[in-house]
């Protein structure tokens, strides 16, 4: 397993991150421990978590696993989604960021996380207040870096400008959704990350399981997030996604790999990428995703995978530029 620098920071992380959203949910404590051990054995030292995963239980399980080797792993957690019925137990206010991180650290049995992500945009808190609260927790040493997930590119760019102007600690990395069937990030978010030197730790490389080979246009597994979880059923509801899942599986068979390996390797090969975050409910599921670390992706195969779904439209609606037809200037324009 190779290591990559996280954006412009000096910290190195394994090129695959393991996500613990399944801990305490579809993976019980024993299965979570075996997933953690298998990831470690494969060379993963980068673990993603959030306060909301299994209402804090994922942090508790991860904390107990990490405790004996805390200094050998890089941990993230997140803040933003509601943690209870209290009206202040949510969002990105100074109050909730400080209280939530303290609770996360207790559950994770540590005095700091390497990265604290804001989990979603909070329209009711000024960005300024959020950035000052994040700056505070970094200065206190409770988080070493800050990151942002699920914000639009303009919101991230606004925040980067404010942090610079006010000499506050700025975002070092982003956590967007990104897979073969969810390529919106290519339009603005990934170019922003490259321009600003932000690390990219993307989530759902298999589209929540859609690209694992068990889904097709007419095929659904008995068990699986997309058939069990309404939010994911809606997120991945389009027929075209299932077409893509089928054609990816055909291509994977031709190449001689598991569809999950090809899907993760494709995400991992994007030039802006630091590390995709893997998800699994069992070690058996995790294996093909881990295999992406050793898979050699050629330019030709990368392009073939990309061609299975339409490229998202450009940010400016100037479709001709995406097709390589450039504006030639006013002198030539009317020729
Ligand atoms: N920032 C955010 O808002 C956000 C959102 C989502 C996730 N995340 C992070 O990203 C991590 C990964 O996300 P994700 O779980 O959505 O990733 P994913 O790789 O897209 O989906 C993982 C799921 O796909 C299925 N799967 C995986 N390998 C399989 C295999 N070999 N065969 C059959 N099914 C397989 C399993 O679900 P089933 O068994 O249920 O089918 C598994 O839980 C999470 O743990 C979390 O840390 C962050």
How many residues belong to the chain?
335
- Does the pLDDT value for residue 199 go beyond 80? yes
Question: Mind listing the pLDDT tens digit for each residue in 161-182?
Answer: 999 999 999 999 999 999 999 9
Query: Closest residue (by CA) to atom 21 of ligand 1?
Result: 208
- Select the CATH number that applies to the domain covering 3-211+263-297 from these four: 2.60.120.650, 3.40.50.10330, 3.40.50.10320, 3.20.20.100: 3.20.20.100
What is the strand order of the sheet 199-200 is part of? 199-200, 171-175, 143-149, 113-118, 74-79, 46-48, 17-19, 277-278
If phi over 0 gives left and psi between -120 and 50 gives alpha, with beta otherwise, what is residue 213?
left
53 tagged catalytic: yes
Domain boundaries, the chain: 3-211+263-297
Compute the distance between CA of residue 207 and CA of residue 330 in angstroms, rounded to an integer: 45
What pLDDT score was predicted for residue 331?
A: 65
Q: What are phi and psi of 125, to 5 degrees?
A: -115, 130
Indicate whether residue 97 lines ligand 1 (CB < 6 A).
no
- Does the pLDDT value for residue 335 go beyond 60? no
Compute the distance between CA of residue 124 and CA of residue 89 in angstroms, rounded to an integer: 13
Which atom of ligand 1 is the closest one to the Cα of 206?
20
């Amino acid at each position: 397993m190779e290591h990559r620098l996280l954006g412009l920071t000096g910290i190195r992380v394994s090129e695959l991150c393991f996500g613990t959203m399944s801990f305490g949910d579809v993976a019980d404590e024993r299965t979570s421990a075996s997933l953690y051990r298998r990831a470690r054995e494969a060379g993963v030292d980068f673990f993603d978590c959030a306060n909301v995963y299994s209402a804090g239980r994922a942090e508790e399980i991860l904390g107990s696993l990490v405790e004996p080797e805390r200094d050998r792993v890089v941990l993230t957690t997140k803040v933003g989604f509601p943690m209870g019925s209290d009206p202040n137990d949510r969002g990105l206010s100074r109050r909730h960021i400080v209280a939530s991180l303290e609770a996360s650290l207790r559950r994770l049995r540590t005095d700091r996380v390497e990265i604290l992500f804001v989990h979603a945009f909070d329209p009711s808190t000024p960005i300024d207040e959020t950035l000052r609260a994040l700056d505070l927790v970094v200065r206190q040493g409770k988080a070493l870096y800050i990151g942002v997930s699920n914000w639009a590119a303009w919101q991230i760019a606004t925040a980067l400008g404010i942090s610079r102007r006010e000499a506050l600690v700025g975002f070092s990395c982003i956590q967007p959704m990104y897979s073969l069937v969810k390529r919106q990030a290519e339009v603005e978010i990934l170019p922003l990350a490259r321009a600003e030197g932000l690390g990219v730790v993307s989530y759902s490389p298999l589209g929540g399981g859609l690209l694992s080979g068990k889904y097709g246009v007419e095929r659904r597994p008995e068990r699986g997030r997309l058939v069990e979880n309404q939010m994911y059923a809606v997120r991945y509801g389009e027929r075209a996604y299932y077409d893509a899942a089928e054609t990816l599986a055909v291509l994977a068979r031709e190449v001689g790999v598991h569809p999950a390996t090809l899907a993760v390797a494709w995400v991992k090969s994007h030039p802006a990428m630091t590390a995709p975050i893997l998800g699994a409910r069992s070690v058996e599921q995790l294996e093909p995703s881990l295999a992406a670390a050793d898979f050699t992706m050629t330019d030709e195969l990368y392009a073939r995978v990309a061609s299975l779904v339409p490229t998202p439209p450009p940010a400016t609606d100037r479709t001709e530029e995406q097709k390589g037809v450039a504006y030639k200037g006013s002198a030539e324009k009317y020729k």
